[in-house]
A and B are shown apart, each in its own frame.
Chain A
Amino acid sequence: MKFLRDFLDKQKPQFEKGGRFEKLQSTFDAFETFLFVPDKTTFSGAHVRDAIDLKRTMSVVIIAMLPALLFGIWNAGYQHFLSLGQSPGFWPIVFYGLMKVLPIVIVSYVAGLGVEFIFAQYRGHEVNEGYLVSGMLIPLVMPIDIPLWMVALASIFAVVIGKEAFGGTGMNVFNPALLARAFVFFAYPVKITGDTIWTGGLSKGEGVVDGFSGATPLGNAAAGAIDKIPSLQDLFFGFIPGSIGETSKLAILIGAAILILTGIGSWRVMLSGLLGGLSMTLIFNLFAANEYMKIDPLTQMMMGSFLFGIVFMATDPVTAAQTTRGKWIYGFLIGFIAIMIRVFNPAYPEGMMLSILLLNAFAPLIDHYVVEANINKRLKRATTSVKS
């Protein structure tokens, strides 16, 4: 790799201040540090440092999302051919899925990273790796038939309004990927709701065999067609229509295991989120005023993006609560409110997105009260020691 290093060292002066391409300094730096961990050494404080950095952290998250992505690609093809009433075998299915999903991924990365690079240069920062994850999350929460220009627009919106407007990575209040989803949801409601967009080609009016509706389990449930909800097995493995990454609970659980094992995703948020969803469902079961409220907890948890949201969205460390106790409360409320919105408000079949965004907004408040308790404890100790 010496020739590569030599090449970089030779080009570097051109990108530094006063060089020909000084406007591309951040971009150069991003690529250089991608190829080589920098030779920077400690100059203050601890002399040795952990081998982990943000690149490593983010790549672990991406690895955790890969099973969901791969299954999503396969399922995109599977659903498409199902709607046509064909079963052409594994490779054509995967090929179709790739042709549909890959462009979305590429567009999301190019659009989002482009904005990131511009802002990093403008601010004189190094490029933060946060978007590597957001850029993958955005395709995973999109319906398969979404127009590519919408993905681009949503990605740019997510980075500019969701992140840079707040001061960049680490400062944002809302999860950028969810914001992208919310953007298309509210800006182009016609394009992202309904039964046709979840299956490749369906929205263009390609042929549909009898009995294939394309509706997601949530769509069925909201429409009162409880009997049309697929079997637990299909829900678990993900042979159902839905956003690209959300359908296979198995793939999501593999991702969750990776996140928990490496310690990078908060198991507290995941567990409390599940408990929250479970509690709400059980309360609904208790009253059971309509068919939707009667759905058992297991089915409820496996419909829609509930699991996907808890594992990949709610755990975003920047927008989640930061304190340990706060994380429990935050996760629980996300699960709780997601099921509530889903059941009570049929206009928004997917309560998860709104629930996480809502709790993103409240996370600082939750933290505030948790920290306040600590402050009061300290004050109390101080006053007792003065008295004694």
Chain B
Amino acid sequence: MSNVIKIKKGLNINLIGEAEKTIKELSTDQFAIKPTDFIGVFPKLLVKEGDVVKAGSPLFMDKYRDNILFSSPVSGKVREIKRGAKRVLLEVKIESDGKSESIDLGAGDPLKMKREDVLDKLLKSGVWPFIRQRPYSVIANPADQPKSIFISTFDTAPLAPDNDLIVHGQGEAFQKGLDVLSTLTKGKIHLNIDASATQSKVFTNSKGVQINKFSGPHPAGNVGVQINKIDPINKGEVVWYLYPQDVIIIGKLFLTGSYDSTRIVALTGSEVLKPTYYKTNVGANLESLVKNNLTSVEKRFISGNVLTGTKIDPDGYVGFYSSQITVIKEGNYHEFLGWALPGFDKFSFSRSFPSFLFSKRKYSLDTNLHGGERALVMTGQFEKVFPFDIYPMQLLKAIMAENIDQMEQLGIYEIDEEDFALCEVIDTSKTNIQEIVRKGLDLMRKEMS
């Protein structure tokens, strides 16, 4: 247990706009659950506009797995059901009544309950979607027996929120959540902490889990890397994973019997005037979150971090799994001879810009692609930021060729798109690698089902 697992390959991107470590209350009454946050889910609506809902009331369900419900994060009424092209369900918007009433599912000690009863409670309350599985990063299948459950308590992505701060004072609920999870698997629960940074007793005093220490640059905090180092996934195996805040929500459900979707969100990025943490609920509206706190340039709003987050509209909503909002500059400008100038202020993993001499520097990056898309020419670059025993380039090419057998042989079950995010950032050829990986995972999932 005291052994530290050292991740050597990777890259920390130091950005300007880290959130100040204070938590403010956010007063907003606008929330939304976005079906697009859930990979592979075909939503079937269960409410209509104007319906009165409580926290935990189901809003929609998965058409093909009808025991998986998605519930309202707050009490209030359904304000709008937003659809996009081809009537794709985009957002179910809830206007909160400020009372935060929840449906009552009854408290209970998970350790004295049967697995089916625990499952039943998790499913009915709509907290089940917090539990996801690898491979594929889809919502876990309640019928599966995962070989282990992984919780990464630290995030190494750029400007990532500090989970020590977020879970402060939630020790009881966190432990209860772990107890709930322990009824779901015969294997271990792996609680992975940062060897040097994790201080919170909430994590280090956890019981009934195996605590693993990690050190090293991003993606050391990615659950995929941690699974790979501790209990790699073979064909046919399933590992479940979830985030610390979601463990607390699950814990509270069993402590109080109600669905408390409290979520602390870090507002970060170079274009935020005062980056800090906000306490709100799952799916909060962005407008109120960033109000009077932004610079005046053209911006991109990201639910999540700059590596893996989703672009959202200025009046959009925080994603279901996100506890971070990043706001950076848009990069839609032409740069005269940008590739040829020395570029003292350019961010680059390669050492072809003199900025590599200042490794501690913090950058204010924008969304410019810095070049045109090209054939995959360079080799040996991805390997420097990809801490898996997997050949990233070969796997990518297998995916592009849609070669199922080869994808499987090269280890596609062990990786997720987020694990390729750094490869994508440093790629000379400007290929959209995460998109390719997602396609490969989707293809694989279809093939296997």
Name A's B-contacting residues (CB within 8 A). Answer: 1, 4-5, 29, 33, 35-57, 59-60, 126, 128-130, 168-171, 261-264, 266, 268, 317-318, 320, 322-324, 327, 367, 371, 374-375, 377-379, 381-382, 385-386
B409 contacts A378, C-beta separation under 8 Å: yes
Q: Contacting B338 at CB < 8 Å: which of A37, A46, A171, A323?
A: A37
User: Hey, what's the 0/1 contact readout for B425-436 against A, CB within 8 Å counting as 1?
Assistant: 111111011110
* B144 within 8 A of partner (CB): no
Q: Contacting A36 at CB < 8 Å: which of B330, B336, B347, B350?
A: B336
Bound together, the chains give a CA A385 to CA B374 distance in angstroms of: 41
By a CB distance below 8 angstroms, the chain B residues around A45 are 308, 417, 421, 424, 432-435
| Minimum CB distance partner of A33 in chain B | B372
B379 contacts A48, C-beta separation under 8 Å: no
User: Hey, what's the 0/1 contact readout for B98-141 against A, CB within 8 Å counting as 1?
Assistant: 00000000000000000000000000000000000000000000
A169 contacts B351, C-beta separation under 8 Å: no
* B38 within 8 A of partner (CB): no
Bound together, the chains give a CA A24 to CA B324 distance in angstroms of: 46
Known interface pairs A57-B428, A322-B393, A371-B391; A51-B334 also in contact (CB < 8 Å): no
- Tell me the B330-382 residues at the A interface (CB within 8 Å): 330-340, 343, 346-353, 365-380
By a CB distance below 8 angstroms, the chain A residues around B349 are 50, 52
Partner-contacting stretch, out of B22-30, B206-214, B232-240 = B232-240
List 26 interface pairs A-B (beta carbons < 8 Å), by A numbering.
A1-B336, A37-B337, A37-B368, A37-B371, A38-B334, A39-B334, A40-B372, A41-B369, A46-B308, A46-B425, A48-B307, A48-B425, A49-B427, A50-B347, A53-B430, A56-B352, A57-B350, A126-B373, A168-B375, A170-B429, A266-B379, A266-B380, A371-B410, A374-B389, A375-B409, A375-B410
A271 → chain B closest CB, angstroms = 14
By a CB distance below 8 angstroms, the chain A residues around B371 are 33, 37-38, 52-56
Q: Contacting B374 at CB < 8 Å: which of A54, A268, A382?
A: A54
By a CB distance below 8 angstroms, the chain B residues around A36 are 334-338
| Minimum CB distance partner of B158 in chain A | A48
Known interface pairs A171-B375, A322-B380; A37-B370 also in contact (CB < 8 Å): yes
By a CB distance below 8 angstroms, the chain B residues around A42 are 331, 367-369
| CB contacts between A and B, total, < 8 Å | 219
B411 contacts A378, C-beta separation under 8 Å: yes
B371 → chain A closest CB, angstroms = 3
A377 contacts B370, C-beta separation under 8 Å: no
A44 contacts B435, C-beta separation under 8 Å: yes
Known interface pairs A38-B334, A52-B428, A382-B234; A371-B350 also in contact (CB < 8 Å): no
By a CB distance below 8 angstroms, the chain B residues around A43 are 311, 432
| Minimum CB distance partner of A51 in chain B | B346
Bound together, the chains give a CA A317 to CA B373 distance in angstroms of: 17
Bound together, the chains give a CA A278 to CA B436 distance in angstroms of: 43
B374 contacts A46, C-beta separation under 8 Å: no
Bound together, the chains give a CA A386 to CA B347 distance in angstroms of: 46
Known interface pairs A261-B351, A317-B380; A46-B375 also in contact (CB < 8 Å): no
A162 → chain B closest CB, angstroms = 15
By a CB distance below 8 angstroms, the chain B residues around A324 are 380, 383
By a CB distance below 8 angstroms, the chain B residues around A60 are 352
Bound together, the chains give a CA A126 to CA B429 distance in angstroms of: 12
* B394 within 8 A of partner (CB): yes
A39 contacts B368, C-beta separation under 8 Å: yes
Q: Contacting B330 at CB < 8 Å: which of A41, A266, A378, A382?
A: A41
By a CB distance below 8 angstroms, the chain A residues around B61 are none
By a CB distance below 8 angstroms, the chain A residues around B333 are 39
| Minimum CB distance partner of A170 in chain B | B375
A35 contacts B372, C-beta separation under 8 Å: no
Q: Contacting B335 at CB < 8 Å: which of A4, A37, A130, A317?
A: A37
| Minimum CB distance partner of A168 in chain B | B375
Known interface pairs A50-B347, A317-B377, A317-B378; A323-B391 also in contact (CB < 8 Å): yes
* B257 within 8 A of partner (CB): no
Q: Which of A40, A46, A263, A382 has the most CB of B within 10 A?
A: A46
By a CB distance below 8 angstroms, the chain B residues around A4 are 336
By a CB distance below 8 angstroms, the chain B residues around A5 are 334, 336
Bound together, the chains give a CA A54 to CA B337 distance in angstroms of: 13
By a CB distance below 8 angstroms, the chain B residues around A318 are 377, 379
